[in-house]
Amino acid sequence: MTDTILAITLVWIFVVIYAVAASFDFGAGFWSMVYVNRIDTKATSIANRYLSPSWEVVNVFIVLIVVGLVTFFPGATYTLGTVLLIPGSLILLLILIRSAFMVFSHLVRKYDKTLAFFSGISGLFIPALLILVLPLTQGGFIQTIDGVERLDWGALLTSPHVYAYVGLAVSSTLFLSSLLLADYSRVANAQQAFRVYRRDAILIGPLTLLAAVLTVVTMKTEASWLYERLLAYLPWLIASVAWFLVGYIALLIPPEQKRLAYAPRLAVVGVIIQYLLASYAYGAARLPYIVYPTVTIESGFTHPNTFRALFVSYLVGFAILIPGFVFFWRMFMKDEQYIQQK
Amino acid sequence: MDDLVLARATFGTTMAFHIIFATLGVGLPLMILLAEILFQRTRDRDYELMAKRWTKGQAILLGVAIPSGTIAGVQLSLLWPGFMEVVGKVISLPFQIEIFAFFLEALFMSIYVYAADRLTPLMRLVSVFMILLGAAASAVLITNVHAFEGTPAGFRIENGEVVDVDPWAAFFNPSFFVTAGHVVVSAFMTGAFAIASVAAWKMIKSDQESREYAFHQKALLLGLIVGGSFSLLTALNGHESAQLLHRYQPEKLAAAEGLFQTQAYAPLAVGGFTDPETQEVKYGIEIPWMLSFLAGNRFDEVVVGLNDFPREYWPPLYIHTLFNGMVGIGSLLIVVGLLGFAWKKLLRRSVFPRWVLGIFVLSGPLALLGIEFGWIFACTGRQPWVIYRVMRTADSVTQSAGIGPLFFTFLAVYLFLGIVTILVFRSYFGRHPLELHPTDRPSGETAP
C-alpha cells in the first residue's frame, strides 16, 4: 500500500463514518420535528435523547474530514476551495444555525417547537447540500475562465444526476435514522415510538434503493468514466443490495415474535454493511481522482515528511481517544438507566 | 471594495465573532474546575451550585463556539486556498492534533452535561479537567499556526515549490511557546473576569444581608483573584512577546510604536495617532528610552524604525492604537484584580461600595475588548503578509467572485446568533433563579 492510497483510505473512512453518523444525527433532528406534537408516542423524546449527547461528537467529524483532506492533499485545496465557496458556505451557515439551536432548545423549553423546526428543516437541507461534493468533483461542472476555475451553476441545477444524488442523500438520511431510532426505541421499551419508526423505515427503505439505482443510471450519461469503472465493482454492488434485503426482511419480521427480539438490531447492522460495501465500490472506482480530471491523489499529495508526522499523530491521537469513545458509548448508547430514563 | 478586502472582512468577522466564544470557552472550564475542587474540599454547596450554573453557561457558549470554529476552519480553505496549500504541506500537524483536542472536549462536555448525575465525584473532576485540557490544547494548537505565520520555519520555497520540509521544526517555530502562552493565560484571565462581572452585577442588585449576596461575593472573589493573577501573567508574557517582535518582526513593533527612525535610546509612545506625513505620533505621551529598554532590556538597544523598510511592506499604522488598547486594558485589569483582593483580604472589609462593584462589572467586557484588540493587532500587524516574508495575503486569496453577498450573509447570521445567545442566557437564567440551600451555613464561613 503506497502512502497516497493509505492517506485517501483514511480520509474515505472518515467520510463514510461521517455519512452514516450524520445521517442518524440529521434524521433524528427531522423526526424530532415531525413528531413534536405527538407526545403520546414519545417519538420526539426518544429522538432527542439520542441526539442531545451525540451531535457535538458527530460535528467534529466534518472538521476531521476537511482537515484530513487539506493536510494529506493540500494540492486539492485550491480547486476544491474555489469551487465549493458558495455551497460550502451555505452548509456552514446551516450547521451553525442548527447546532446553536440544538443547544438552545435543550436549555429553553419555551421555544421548543420553533427550535425543533429549525433543526428539523436544516437536518434535511444539510445532507442535500453536502452530497453535492460528489457529483461536483466527478467532472463536468467546473469551467475554467481566464485561468480561474468556476462552478457552472447552470449545468449543476439542470443535471438529473445531481438531483438523483440529492434524492439519495435525503432518503438515506431518513431511512438510516428511522431504522436506528426504531432500534433505540426498542432498547428504551417505548413500544409506540418503536412502531412509528419501524413503519417509517419500512416506507422509506425501497425509496433509497430506487434513488441509488437512479444515481447509477444517470451517471452513465453524465460521468461515463466513473460508470464504467463502477461496473468493475459490480459484485460489491450486488452484495450491497443483498445486505439491504437482509436488513429490510429483518425489519419486516413482526415485532411481537419474542424469539426474534433482536431483529431490529440485525436490520441496523445489515443496512450499515450495505452502505459500507457501496461506499467502498464508489470510492475505489473513483481512484485516483479527487477532482476529475485535474486533481489526482498523486498530484495533490502533501510532502512525504509531513505525511509521516501526520500519520504518527493519527495513531497516537486515536490510541488516546478510544477509551474516551468507549466511555461515551457506555454512558449514552448502552446505559439502560439513561436510555429508558427511569 | 475589492475581493481581497471582502475576503479579509469575511474571515476577520468570523474570527472576531468566534474569539468571544472561544476565549470564554477556554476560560470558563478553569473556573468550573476550581469551583468543583473548592466544593469537594470545603463541602460548601455554594461552590457546587456555581459549577453547575457556569456549566450551563459554558454549554450555551459552546453551542456557538463549536460551529463558529467549524466555520473558521472550513473558511480558511474556502477563502485562502493558496495559504492552505502551504499549510497542508508544512504546518498541518497542529490542525491535525487540534482535532483530537476538539474530540476530547466534545466527548467530555457531553458526558459532564448530560451524565453529571451518574458520575462519581472523581469522574466529575476528571471530566471537567478533560474539557479544560481539550479547550486549552485547541487554543494552543491553533495559535501554533498563527505563530508560524509570523515566524515561519521548517521549509523553503524554491521556484514556487515547497522544499526541505521539516514539520516539527515548523511546529516548534520561534514564537510558538510565547504566543500560545499569551493566548491561554489571557483566556483564563477573561473567563475569570467574566464571572466577576456577572457576580458584581448580581451583588449590586441584591440585598447586602442576603444569602444571594454572600453567594455572589464568593464567586466575585474567586473571579478577581484568578483574573488578577492571570492578568499579571499575561503582562509578563506580553513583555516576552514584544521582545520577540523586536527580534523577528521589527516592522510590526515599529508600527505598533509609531517609530520611524532607527535609533538607540528609543522612546515609548503611549496613546496618540501615528501620522505618516510628519513621521511622528501625534497627541501621545513619550517616555524617553523606554522602548529600547522594553525591547532589549537596555537603554542603548537599537530599535529599527519603519523607514528602514520599503513602504509597501509597512503594516497599517493604526495598529498603534490597537496595541495601546490591548496593553492599557491589560494593565488596568491587574489593578482591578489587586483592588478586589486588597479590599477583602488586606483591609478585611466585608462589603464592597457600589462604585467599586461598578468597576468589577466592567472588567469582563473590558477583558474581552482587550482580547479583540490583541487579535486584530496581531493579525493586521502582519499585513501585507499571510506568511511573513514568504507569501502575501493578496496571493493566497480565492479567485472566486461573489464574496460580497457571502460577507453580508455571514455578518447577518452572526448578529442574529449573538442576539439569540443573549436572549437564551436571559431566558435560561431568568427562569432558573439561584436556589440556595437554606440549611447551609451563612456567608463567609465554610463548613468543616
Q: At what angle do helices B92-114 and B121-150 cross, to 10 degrees?
A: 160
> Is the per-residue pLDDT at A33 higher than 70?
yes
| Mean pLDDT of the region A125-130 | 91
Cis peptide before B438 (omega within 30 of 0): no
Measuring CA to CA, which residue among B186, B179, B174, B169 is closest to residue B146? Answer: B179
| B14, B78 contact by CB (below 8 A) | no
**Each residue's pLDDT tens digit, B214-255:** 889 889 999 999 999 999 999 888 888 888 888 888 888 888
Please name the residues between 361 and 400 in chain B that touch chain A, using a CB distance below 8 Å. 398-400
| Grid cell for residue A250 | 429483518
Does ipTM come in above 0.85? no
* Measured distance CA(B383)–CA(B392) in Å, rounded: 8
Are the beta carbons of A305 and B64 separated by less than 8 Å?
A: no
A and B: number of Cβ contacts within 8 A: 225
CB B438 within 8 A of CB B211: yes
Contacts of A149 in chain B (CB under 8 A): 399
- What's the whole-number mean pLDDT along residues A210-226? 89
B273-283: string of b/e by CB count within 10 Å (b at 16+)?
Answer: ebeeeeebbee
At B148, phi and psi to the nearest 5? -60, -40
Dist. CA A172–CA A22, nearest whole Å: 11
Is A322 near chain B, with CB under 8 Å?
no
Closest by Cα among B118, B103, B166, B126 to B36: B126
Q: Comparing A170-174, A280-284, A309-313, A323-327, which segment has the lowest mean pLDDT?
A: A323-327
| Cβ(B78)–Cβ(A90) below 8 Å | no
Is the CB of residue A324 less than 8 Å away from at least one CB of chain B?
Answer: yes
Question: What residues contact B132, with CB distance under 8 A and at least 6 apart?
Answer: B29, B30, B32, B33
pLDDT of residue B438: 59
Residue B185 and residue B232: Cα distance in Å, rounded? 9
Report pLDDT for B253: 85
Q: CB–CB of B8/B398 below 8 Å?
A: no
Q: Which residue would you say has higher pLDDT here, A160 or A331? A: A160
Q: What pLDDT was estimated at residue A294? A: 83
> Which of these, B147, B49, B117, lies nearest to B388 by C-alpha position?
B147
For the stretch B176-185, pLDDT in tens is 999 999 999 9
Mean pLDDT confidence for A14-23 = 88
Pick among A55, A93, A303, A326 to test the B interface (most B CBs inside 10 A): A303
Which residues from A are below 8 Å from B165, CB to CB? 303, 305-306
- The answer, yes or no, to whether residue A57 has pLDDT greater than 80, is no
Q: Look at residues A69, A85, A89 and name the one whose alpha carbon lies nearest to residue A77.
A: A69
Residues B284/B271, Cβ–Cβ less than 8 Å = yes
Say how far apart CA B124 and CA B115 lie, in whole Å: 10
B-chain CB neighbours of A303 within 8 Å are 89-90, 162, 165, 167
Does B67 reach chain A within 8 Å, measured CB to CB? yes
Query: Which candidate from B88, B113, B406 shows the least CB-CB separation from A74?
Result: B88
User: Please, which residues 100-129 of chain A have a Cβ atom closer than 8 Å to chain B?
Assistant: 100, 102-104, 106-108, 110
When pLDDT is cut at 50, 70 and 90, the band that residue B323 belongs to is confident
Q: What is the CA radius of gyration of chain B?
A: 23
CA separation for the pair A215, A126 (Å, rounded): 19
pLDDT of residue B188: 95
- pLDDT number for residue A48: 72
- Residue B309: pLDDT above 90? no
**Cβ atoms of residues B258 and B285 within 8 Å:** no
Q: Does position B442 have pLDDT exceeding 50, yes or no? A: no
Contact of B406 with A89, CB cutoff 8 Å: yes
Residue of A92, A149, A303 with shortest CB distance to B162: A303
Question: Is pLDDT above 60 for B441?
Answer: no
- Whether B444 has a pLDDT exceeding 50, the answer reads no
CB-based contact (8 Å) between A157 and chain B? no
Q: 280-309 in A: which are within 8 Å (CB) of B?
A: 302-303, 305-306, 309
Question: What's residue A40's pLDDT?
Answer: 65
- A179 vs A99, more confident: A179
Q: What is the mean pLDDT of chain B?
A: 86
CA distance A85 to B401: 9
Instruction: Say which range, A41-55, A148-162, B101-115, B196-210, has the weakest mean pLDDT.
Output: A41-55
The pLDDT value given to residue A302:
83
Q: How close does chain B come to A32, measured CA to CA in Å?
A: 18
Distance CA B106, CA B417 (A): 21
Contact A105, A112 (CB under 8 A): yes
Torsion of the alpha carbons at B74, B16, B191 and B59, rounded to the nearest 10:
-50
The answer to whether B72 and B18 have CB atoms below 8 angstroms apart is yes
Average pLDDT, chain A: 84
pLDDT band at B339 (very low <50, low <70, confident <90, very high): confident
Q: For residue B72, how far is the Cα from the chain centroid?
A: 16
- Find residue A145's DSSP bridge partners: A148
CA distance A49 to chain B (A): 10
**A92 → closest Cβ in B74, B104, B130:** B74
A80 contacts chain B (CB < 8 A): yes
Where are the strands (E) in B9-141, listed by range? none
In this complex, the residue of B64, B102, B400 whose CB is nearest that of residue A100 is B64
B404-415: average pLDDT = 88
Residue of B103, B156, B165 to mutate, testing the A interface (most A Cβ within 10 Å of its Cβ) = B103
Q: If you average pLDDT over each of B297-311, B356-370, B381-395, which comes out highest?
A: B356-370
Which tens digit of pLDDT belongs to each residue from B46-98? 898 898 899 888 888 887 887 788 788 878 888 888 888 888 888 888 988 88
A73 to chain B: closest CA residue: B88
Check residue A281 and give its pLDDT.
Answer: 92
Interval A302-327 mean pLDDT: 85
Q: How confident is the model at residue B362 (pLDDT cuts 50, 70, 90)?
A: very high
* Range of lowest pLDDT (A297-301, B242-246, B276-280, B309-313): B276-280
Q: Provide the residue range defining the domain that includes A55.
A: 3-340
The C-alpha cell at A37 is 406534537
Q: Which residues of A touch B81 (CB under 8 A)?
A: 77-82
Q: For residue A109, what pLDDT is reported?
A: 65
Q: Identify the residue with better confidence: B404 or B35.
A: B35
Amino acid at the residue B83: F
Q: Which of residues 411-440 of B touch A (CB under 8 A)?
A: 413, 417, 420-421, 424, 427-428, 431
Check B399 against A149: CB less than 8 A apart: yes
For A97, which of B92, B401, B413 is closest by C-beta distance? B413
Q: Please say if the pLDDT value at position B447 is more than 50.
A: no
Residue B330 has pLDDT above 70, yes or no: yes
List of chain B residues whose C-beta atoms are within 8 Å of the C-beta of residue A102: 63
Q: Give A72's contacts in chain B (Cβ within 8 Å).
A: 88
Q: Is A17 on the interface with B (CB under 8 A)?
A: no
The pLDDT of residue B445 is 43
A residues 124-153 lying closer than 8 A (beta carbon) to B: 148-150
Residues 190-219 of B with CB under 8 A from A: none
What's the pLDDT at A26?
Answer: 87
Q: Which pLDDT value is given to residue B139?
A: 92
Mark residue B159 as left, alpha or beta (left: phi above 0; alpha: psi -120 to 50; beta: remaining).
Answer: left
pLDDT at site A149: 80
- Domain ranges within chain B, ordered by starting residue: 174-382
pTM for this prediction = 0.83
Q: Is the pLDDT of residue B379 over 80?
A: yes
Q: Which of B21, B100, B122 to mutate to test binding with chain A, by most A CBs within 10 Å of its CB? A: B100
First to last CA, chain A: 51
Rounded to a whole number, what is the distance in Å from the CA of B1 to chain A's nearest CA? 19
Confidence of residue B437 (pLDDT cuts 50, 70, 90): low
Instruction: Look at B59 and A310 and tell me if their CB atoms are within 8 Å.
Output: no
Please tell me the predicted confidence (pLDDT) of residue A258: 62
Would you call B391 helix, strand, or coil by DSSP?
Answer: strand
pLDDT digits (tens, 9 = 90+) for A132-146: 989 988 888 888 887
The yes-or-no verdict on residue B446 having pLDDT over 70 is: no
* Angstroms from A174 CA to nearest CA on chain B: 23
